[in-house]
Amino acid sequence: MTPFRLHDETRWLTLGQPFALESGAFLPEVRIAYRTWGTLAPAADNAIVVCHALTGSADADRWWAPLFGQGRVLDPEQDFILCSNVLGGCYGTTGPTSPAPDGRPWGRSFPIVTLRDQVRAQMALADALGIRRIRLVIGGSMGGLQALEWALLDPVRVGAVATLAASGRHSPWCLVWSEAQRLALAADPNYADGDYDPRDPPVAGLAAARAIAMATYRSPRSLSERFGRQTGGEIFGVRAQTPDDFAVKGWLRHHGRALTERFDANSYRVLLDAMDTHDLGRQRDDYASVLRAIRQPVLVGSIASDALYVPGDQLELASLIPNATWLPIDSAHGHDGFLIDAARFQAGLLAFKSRQAVDHAAPARHTSVQASCPQSHRRSTLNRAWG
């Protein structure tokens, strides 16, 4: 893996004491890489926390650029925006590539982390920065899973949540795709059950895992419209292997290779494992009761063409969270639509954020989910409510 070049404005926080994990293990030291935009208000009440996806980084202005800017949902003129690399990642925050107590990289011995562990690390960062009120926690995919955990772990400080292309627990469908990627890693002899030489990483296994993931991130329509049955030529500056080689296959190979140049295989496995443990009801209460206990306004963004976190996942959230607002995302690109088509739903996010600012200044009121779910799902929601 070629080390990812961190932005010059990346900052670090080192927690001053061992960090306890849900598993019962401890990390003797945790270092968190993060970036901020804007200025924290004197009352420390204008923060927005952005949570990134599986292979993302703290550079939210790179991968979510359409949401940044004056008058947009992430407005440095008004907001203090915070994004950190997740615990277990490889973009500056403590993870498998970080030094263990013996001075060597943790590698496969890095302990199991959960999304709750990751969010608690983010909470510690917010504490250290003096943040007293978080206007909004927002994220897509893995970041959307974390945003929901924020609502439960920090209910007093978090004012609202936006979760996009995500769910309240990993479905069997998501679990099998995660396992397929683990099998791809394990099939590479260089992987050696995670005990590999960083100078000779399991490039083929990680590329194959990424290829599997990419197939779930896009939609049949997206690939058909872009590539069809086109053959030959170049894609991303790389010539087709043969004149009759399909361009879409070259696209998949490109993404596999590209990830191996910027990501660590053990970090990839650690983060897959963290997502698979995701279940808001785990060790709390039954799942439906936990969702009903969320009191913050929650925007639930759903992409009709998403083949990974399917719309049914979001409908479940919107029907059970008391103050949920449904945001349909118009994208032909499948799961990756939360990134590719961010400009299309920026207005919906901004409207949600603006409503929270108005409601925060007005007396508290309750918004029923029946008023915010799609019309076709109101009857089933009412039936649950009354019987």
User: Is pLDDT above 50 for 382?
Assistant: no
Per-residue pLDDT, averaged over 10-16, amounts to 95
* 3 state DSSP class of 88: coil
Which residue in 141, 167, 178, 222 is the catalytic one? 141
Which residue in 219, 306, 331, 333 is the catalytic one? 306
Q: Which tokens sit at 275?
A: 């997502």
Which residue in 52, 278, 333, 335 is the catalytic one? 335
Which stretch of 99-108, 111-120, 317-326, 374-383 has the lowest confidence by average pLDDT? 374-383
6 and 91 in contact (C-beta within 8 Å)? yes
* 3 state DSSP class of 136: strand
Query: How many whole angstroms separate alpha carbon 71 and alpha carbon 64?
Result: 15
Q: Calculate the average pLDDT of the chain.
A: 90
Query: How many whole angstroms separate alpha carbon 126 and alpha carbon 29?
Result: 17
For residue 237, what pLDDT is reported? 61
* 3 state DSSP class of 5: coil
At 205-245, the pLDDT tens digits run: 999 999 999 999 999 899 888 888 888 776 666 566 677 78
| CATH class of the domain comprising 175-274 | mainly alpha
Euclidean distance between the first and the last CA atom of the chain, given in angstroms as a whole number: 55
Query: How many whole angstroms separate alpha carbon 74 and alpha carbon 136?
Result: 10
Known catalytic residue: 109? no
Residue 256: how many CB atoms within 10 A of its CB?
A: 21
pLDDT band at 108 (very low <50, low <70, confident <90, very high): very high
User: Is pLDDT above 90 for 170?
Assistant: yes
CATH of domain 11-170+279-386: 3.40.50.1820
Known catalytic residue: 141? yes
Known catalytic residue: 306? yes
User: Is pLDDT above 90 for 287?
Assistant: yes
For residue 288, count CB atoms less than 10 angstroms from its CB and return exposed for 0-12, middle for 13-18, buried for 19 or more.
Answer: middle
Query: How many whole angstroms separate alpha carbon 217 and alpha carbon 313?
Result: 16
Query: Is 336 marked within a binding site?
Result: yes
Q: Domain spans of the chain?
A: 11-170+279-386, 175-274
